[in-house]
Amino acid sequence: MHIDAKVVKALREKTGAGMMDCKKALQEGGGDEEKSVDILREKGLSAAARRSGRVANQGIVDSYIHLGGKIGVLVEVNCETDFVALNDEFRGFVRNLCLQIAATNPGYLKKEEIPESILEKERQIIRAQALNEGKPEKVIEKIVEGRLDKFYRENCLLEQPFVKDEDIAIGELLTNLIAKIGENIVIRRFSRFEIGEGIENDATCCCD
């Protein structure tokens, strides 16, 4: 059964569940929103939205070194209690975040963090590309929004497909973990370091 992306998005905003979970619930519920909400509630997935307001001031800072010291990642993930901070599943999630960041190098945690100036520049580039491809003027804005979604998936950690399972985004993975563990969990910050990053190569020879 085909489910419109706008319907999936509306259910996600209403319940806080992941996009794939919302899509599956809508398919299971025959496209009926109320039935889909009930299905998500039965699975404990819609509860994640209610937990998002709780204070999360515990957690862990984890690190990962890749390629023999060529790439390093630091990430802080918060939860509500020390008990959950010691939970193997919580720690496994944090470890997977480290691997994700090392592999994909996201520039932002979520799309709301992207400066408007960068988004506007990206929109202008996409518009120019679409016009150069001969796309009709009336569909340009739809193309811009579609390609911006791709930009978000490439640059925002929560929007990225999980490297170990590309059918699920990191944001959905987080939502599912919140529903399963029963605490608010927040990815607070991360940094990625790569040897030589930001250093310009100087080819000048200092030999006589």
In the chain the first and final C-alpha atoms are separated, in Å, by 74
pLDDT per residue of the chain (208 residues) written in tens, 0 to 9: 788 888 888 887 677 677 778 888 899 888 888 888 888 877 766 656 666 667 788 999 999 999 889 999 999 999 999 999 999 999 999 999 999 999 999 999 999 999 999 999 999 999 899 888 888 888 888 888 888 999 999 999 999 999 999 999 999 999 889 988 888 899 999 999 999 887 876 554 444 4
Residue 148, both tokens = 């911006």
Asked if residue 190 lies in contact with residue 63, where contact means CB atoms within 8 angstroms, the answer is no
**76 beta partners:** 61, 189
- As a whole number of angstroms, the distance between CA 63 and CA 95 comes to 8
Classify 90 as helix, strand or coil.
helix
- As a whole number of angstroms, the distance between CA 126 and CA 117 comes to 14
- As a whole number of angstroms, the distance between CA 46 and CA 43 comes to 8
Residue with tokens 């996409």: 126
Asked if residue 152 lies in contact with residue 112, where contact means CB atoms within 8 angstroms, the answer is no
Nearest to 59 by CA among 177, 149, 176, 187: 187
- Compute and round to an integer the Cα radius of gyration of the chain: 20
Write down all domains in the chain, each with its CATH number in brackets. Answer: 1-51 (1.10.8.10), 56-194 (3.30.479.20)
Asked if residue 46 lies in contact with residue 162, where contact means CB atoms within 8 angstroms, the answer is no
Asked if residue 192 lies in contact with residue 105, where contact means CB atoms within 8 angstroms, the answer is yes
pLDDT of residue 182: 86
pLDDT of residue 51: 64
pLDDT of residue 160: 96
